Structure formats: structure tokens, C-alpha cells
Amino acid sequence: MKKIFISFALTVGLVAGVTTTVAAEEGGFQAAGNNIRDQASLQRGAKLFFNYCVGCHSLKYVRYSRMAEDLGLSEDEVMKNLNFTGAKFGDPVISHMPEDSGQQFFGKAPPDLSLEVRAKEQGPDWVFSYLNSFYVDPTRPVGWNNTVFPNASMPFPLWELQGIQTAVKKEGSDDVEKLELSQPGKLTPAQYQQAARDLTNFLEYASEPAALQRQRYGIWVLLFLAGFTFLAYLLKKEYWKDVH
């Protein structure tokens, strides 16, 4: 029975993983493959967010104090390395860009990213693909475009890390066939993929910080249910031993 249960669990996990990857690829999205239980990845993602994104985007449903607790950081580490707005430790993460400035420069105020991952049907795959799909487009006001979100108003904040991509269009069409790295960045392609995955991981965490606790509690609940089931089975055998 134990072997059957383990085999069933592994099969379900493998099928779920393959299904998610295939769905992402068939929909034109790259599978993020991130893991919010990877604390080191979350810390790297937080560093990227606060160095490249918080200038325009807020996380108004995430507090510095809660983030420190979940990511294994001290108050001193957070306030010195991640807090660039002068906020208090218990304050939510709010961008220091005034709303009217965002509308002036980009045509609309940059959105809050607290629920960005949960708002997308494809979840982290959408965000990961978006971070990999910027290319130079002189026809756009900000000089950049994106194949996942065409005509996006946002300039590419990570271009120094990834480098500059240019679009190769289909013959006789304006449709983008593929993107080519025409100017390397500070990171190799593999390193940038990991950086984009870390940032996506952090944004997935930010969309539901309670998920980390929920998953930890879930393990104990499953262990309790397994123990209770075993005891119930022994009790059933004791009650029915004379009948059989």
C-alpha cells in the first residue's frame, strides 16, 4: 500500500509539472520554473526589484517587516539594502515616483505589482516571458517594445543586465519571428535567465506572502491526516478482528 501511494503521488506530481510546462510552451510563454520556497532566490529577486523596479512600481500589500520575516532578513539588512524611500520598517513598499510623474513620462501611472502574478492567467510564466521579451523599437515613445505585451509603455529596466535585443520580423510582415541579442549585457544569457527567474519568484511571493506559511502548515496537516488514518486503520482491525 505504501509503495502504491508513493507511486501515485510521484505520478501526479510529474504529470502536473509536464502539463504546466506544455501549457506554457503551447501558449507562447516560457515556463518560469521558479520556486517560492527557495529563500536564496527570493532574496536575489528582492534585490533586483528594489534596485530596478521600486523607482516606479509599488508593492502596497507587502510590508518591509513581513518581507524581512519571510525572506530570512534582519531589520538592519532590509532598511540599509532594500529601503530607498525612507519608509519605516512596518510600512508597505511604496514607490517614490509621484503618480502625476508616471503619467507625464509614460502616459499612465506605473501599476502596483503586488498582485501582478495572480492577475495573469498564466501566472509566473507570463511575468518570466515578459522579462525575456523586450526589444529595441525606435517607433515607440520609450524606445522599447515587447512581444508578450505589445506596445507596452514601460522602458526595459533590466537592459544593462540582459543586453539589447532586436526583432527579426517575418518576411513581408510586421510580425516578430524571433528576438536576437545584438548587444550583450553584464550577464550571460544563462545568468540573465536566472535573474529573471529570481525576480519572477519574488513577485510571485509578493502576490501571496501567506503561501509560504500555508505550504508549511499543509505538510503538518498531511502528516496528521496520515497518522490519523493509520490509527483509524488499526482501530478498524481491532473492532473487526472477531468478525473476520
**Are residues 49 and 5 part of one domain?**
no
- For residue 103, what pLDDT band results from cuts at 50, 70 and 90? low
| pLDDT above 80 (res 119) | yes
| pLDDT above 60 (res 12) | no
**Are residues 79 and 6 part of one domain?**
no
Is there a binding annotation on residue 56?
Answer: yes
**Are residues 45 and 18 part of one domain?**
no
Is there a binding annotation on residue 96?
Answer: no
**Are residues 115 and 8 part of one domain?**
no
Type of residue found at 148: V
Predicted confidence at residue 227, as pLDDT, reads 86
Range of the domain at 176: 37-237
**Are residues 129 and 9 part of one domain?**
no
Tell me if 85 sits within 8 A of 54, measured CB to CB: yes
Per-residue pLDDT reduced to its tens digit, 204-232? 999 998 887 776 667 777 888 888 888 88
Q: What is the mean pLDDT of residues 64-70?
A: 95
- For residue 46, what pLDDT band results from cuts at 50, 70 and 90? very high
| pLDDT above 50 (res 126) | yes
Q: How many CA atoms lie within 13 A of 9 on its CB side?
A: 7
Per-residue pLDDT reduced to its tens digit, 162-175? 999 999 988 888 88
Predicted confidence at residue 215, as pLDDT, reads 67
Q: Is the pLDDT higher at 19 or at 98?
A: 98
Is there a binding annotation on residue 244?
Answer: no
- For residue 106, what pLDDT band results from cuts at 50, 70 and 90? low
**Are residues 112 and 25 part of one domain?**
no
**Are residues 113 and 3 part of one domain?**
no
